[in-house]
Amino acid sequence: MNKEVKKKRRKIRISGVILILLILYLVAMCGYYLFTMKIKSINVKGLNYLSENEVLSSANIDLDTSIFKILTSSIKKKIEKIPLVKSAKFHINLNGELIIEIKENKILFLNSLDNKIVLEKGKTIENKDYKGVPVLVNYVKSESYTNLIEALGKIDSDILFMISEIEYKPDEYNGVILDEERFLLRMNDGNLVFVNNVNMEKLNRYQSIYASVGSGGVLYLDSNSDNYIFTIYTEDGNVEEQSGEIKNEE
């Protein structure tokens, strides 16, 4: 009876050892696979102003980089040191594809006075000739400048791409300033837009307004009402005026 129990125990111990060895073998093989496997493709998502080359150069990775290095190095920290990057995350598919997802800081405008790029919340970085950036062309007094940054921070990036120039242009009549928070925006589509900081969020409905009025005129969004006014000069020198309600986009 005792002999049979001892035999069973030996069989269990041998099976356990074999199982442990098998697990260690599989772990070792996985480690070797990860250590030697190279990245087969790289996909960088979420880029508006940065180039893929800028991101990969900062992270010091390419198609010759092993997946093991990607998993063990501080690539996320390297990428997030790029001034224009707000956050970065990455993952690797089983087919060897490295996917890097970038969230950029929103660029509000280029300040032509000091040639600095202004980001949301007022952070500034060096100008690297980013394309599609609105240019602030003149001086803005301190309080209005702070309010401008806060107001533009609420504007969709797609709309900011449509702005060519921003000019500080207070509303003045007979030497009296009526609205010192007003700006003139020159749009890439040829329209001019008057808007103040209080009503800046109306720009988020600019595309729907444009669909109604077209281009080649002056759009007034600096009123506190929910209406807009669009004026256009005709070929005979007359002025045509259109008005409509600014509808919330669904």
User: The domain that contains 221 carries what CATH number?
Assistant: 3.40.50
Categorize the per-residue pLDDT at 22 as very low, low, confident or very high, splitting at 50, 70 and 90: confident
pLDDT tens track for 129-139: 888 899 999 99
Contact 197, 204 (CB under 8 A): no
| 135/118 Cα distance (integer angstroms) | 10
Q: Is the pLDDT of residue 1 over 70?
A: no
Same domain, 85 and 168: no
| CA gap 68, 65 in Å, rounded | 8
- Identify whether residues 95 and 122 lie together within a single domain: no
> What value does the mean pLDDT take over residues 160-166?
97
Domain that holds residue 147: 113-245
Give the total number of structural domains in the chain.
2
Q: Name, of 15-24, 29-38, 39-48, 181-190, the range with top average pLDDT.
A: 181-190
Residue 33 falls inside a structural domain: no
Whether residues 143 and 241 fall in one domain: yes
What's the pLDDT at 71?
66
Cross-strand partners of 154: none
Task: Please report whether residue 2 resides in a domain.
Answer: no
**Which residue would you say has higher pLDDT here, 124 or 91?**
124
For residue 21, tell me if it sits in a domain: no
Closest C-alpha to 95, from 72, 71, 67:
67
Q: Give the pLDDT mean for 19-34.
A: 72
Average pLDDT over residues 47-55: 91
> Does 236 or 213 have the greater pLDDT score?
213
pLDDT at 126 over 70: yes
Instruction: Give the domain CATH number at 62.
Output: 3.10.20.310
Same domain for 213 and 122, yes or no, is yes
86 and 199 share a domain?
Answer: no
Among 245, 248, 240, smallest CA distance to 218 is for: 240
Q: How confident is the model at residue 207 (pLDDT cuts 50, 70, 90)?
A: very high
Verify that 117 and 234 share a domain, yes or no: yes
Last residue of a domain, one of 55, 71, 104: 104
**What is the per-residue pLDDT across 71-82, written as a single tens digit (0 to 9) for each?**
656 788 889 999
Does residue 199 lie in a domain region? yes
pTM above 0.85, yes or no: no
Same domain, 98 and 70: yes
pLDDT band at 177 (very low <50, low <70, confident <90, very high): confident
112 burial (CB, 10 Å; 0-12 / 13-18 / 19+) is middle
Q: Quick check: is 7 in a domain?
A: no
pLDDT band for position 39 (cuts 50, 70, 90) = confident
Residues forming beta bridges with residue 38, ordered by sequence position: 66
Q: Answer yes or no: is pLDDT of 93 > 80.
A: yes
Are residues 79 and 165 both part of a single domain?
no
The three-point CA angle 87-69-81 to 5° equals 25
Q: Is residue 48 part of a domain?
A: yes
* Residue 236 in domain: yes
Give pLDDT tens digits for 98-121: 899 999 999 999 999 999 999 998
Buried b (16+ CB within 10 A) or exposed e, 227-241: ebbbebeeeeeeeee
User: Which pLDDT belongs to residue 59?
Assistant: 87
Residues 119 and 220 in one domain: yes
